[in-house]
Amino acid sequence: MNEIKTGNSPMREELFSILHFFKNNMFLVYISVFVSLFAYGFSMTHFTLSIDEEIALTLGDQYNWSNQGRFGIDILKTLFNFWNTNSITSTFLAVSLFSLSGILWAYSFSSITPRKEGKYIPGSIVILLFLTFPALSENIGFSMMSFELGIGWIIIALASIFISRWAISSNNSKLFLLLGVIFVSFATSIYQAFLSVFIIGCFIQLIIYILHLEESKTKLNLKLYFYILVKITLVSGVSLALYKIADKIVQLFIPSSGYIENFIMWGKKPTSEIILGLLSSFSKLLSGELIYGSKMLLPSMFISLFLIAYFLVKFLINKDRGNAGILVFTLIGYCLIPFLIYFISGSPVPVRGNLVWPLFTSSACLFLFMLVRKVQYRMFIIFVICIISFYQANSIAQLFYSDYQRYEDDVKLANQIGYAITNMDLGETPPFPVVYVGKHEQEIRNGIIKQEVLGYSFFEWDGGNQLRIGDFMQSLGYMYISPSEVQKERAKQIAASMPMWPHKGSIALKEDMIIVNFSGSTGKPLLKISEIQPFGEKYKSNKLAISSVNFDTHNVELAKKTTGTLGAFSRGEDPYFSFPTAPHAQNQSYKFVKIEFSSDIEGNLQLFLLPPNGEYSEVLSGTQNIRSGENVIYCTIPDAITEISAVRIDPPDNSVLNIKNIELIF
CATH code at position 560: 2.60.120.430
Within a domain: 393: no
Full residue range of the structural domain in which residue 255 is found: 26-371
pLDDT recorded at residue 67: 87
Contact 630, 598 (CB under 8 A): yes
Q: Report if pTM > 0.85.
A: no
For residues 81 and 50, membership in a common domain is answered with: yes
316 shares a domain with 234: yes
Return the pLDDT at 277.
87
At residue 503, the pLDDT reads 79
Does residue 395 lie in a domain region?
no
- Domain membership of residue 522 (yes or no) is no
Does residue 412 sit within a domain? yes
What are the residues whose beta carbons fall under 8 Å from the beta carbon of 598, sequence distance 6 or more? 629, 630, 631, 657, 658, 660
619 and 485 together in one domain: no
| pLDDT at 235 (0 to 100) | 96
Q: Which domain-ending residue is among 517, 538, 562?
A: 517
d(C-alpha 253, C-alpha 545), whole Å: 73
Say if residue 475 is in the same domain as residue 341. Answer: no
Final residue belonging to a domain, choices 517, 550, 578: 517
pLDDT tens, position by position, 519-576:
744 445 667 899 988 877 777 788 877 777 778 898 899 888 777 788 999 988 889 9
Question: Are 510 and 551 found together in one domain?
Answer: no
Q: Does residue 69 form part of some domain?
A: yes
Query: Which of 417-426's residues contact partners 24+ apart within 8 Å by CB, and which partners?
Result: 417/473, 417/478, 417/507, 417/516, 418/473, 418/476, 418/478, 420/507, 421/478, 421/480, 421/507, 421/514, 424/509, 424/514, 426/509, 426/514
In a domain? residue 387:
no
**Domain's final residue, options 352, 371, 390:** 371
* Domain-located, residue 11: no
Bridge partners of 649, per DSSP, are 577, 607
Q: Would you say residue 13 lies in a domain?
A: no
Q: Are residues 172 and 279 in the same domain?
A: yes
Task: Tell me how many domains the chain contains.
Answer: 3
101 and 134, same domain (yes or no): yes
**Could you tell me if 436 and 580 lie in one domain?**
no
- In angstroms, what CA-CA distances link 161 with 32, 232, 236? 20, 12, 14
> What is the pairing mode between strands 603-610 and 621-626?
antiparallel
Residues 190 and 325 in one domain: yes
Q: How far apart are CA 102 and CA 153, in angstroms?
A: 9
In which residue ranges of the chain is pLDDT below 70?
A: 1-8, 56-63, 113-120, 447, 497, 520-526, 582-589, 612-615, 619, 639-642
Q: Is 621 left (phi over 0), alpha (psi -120 to 50) or beta?
A: beta
Could you count the other beta carbons within 10 Å of the beta carbon of residue 528? 14
Question: Are 60 and 90 within one domain?
Answer: yes
pLDDT of the residue at 360: 95
Report CA Rg, the chain: 31
CA gap 606, 621 in Å, rounded = 7
Same-domain pairing of 494 and 355? no
**Residues 207 and 79 reside in one and the same domain:** yes
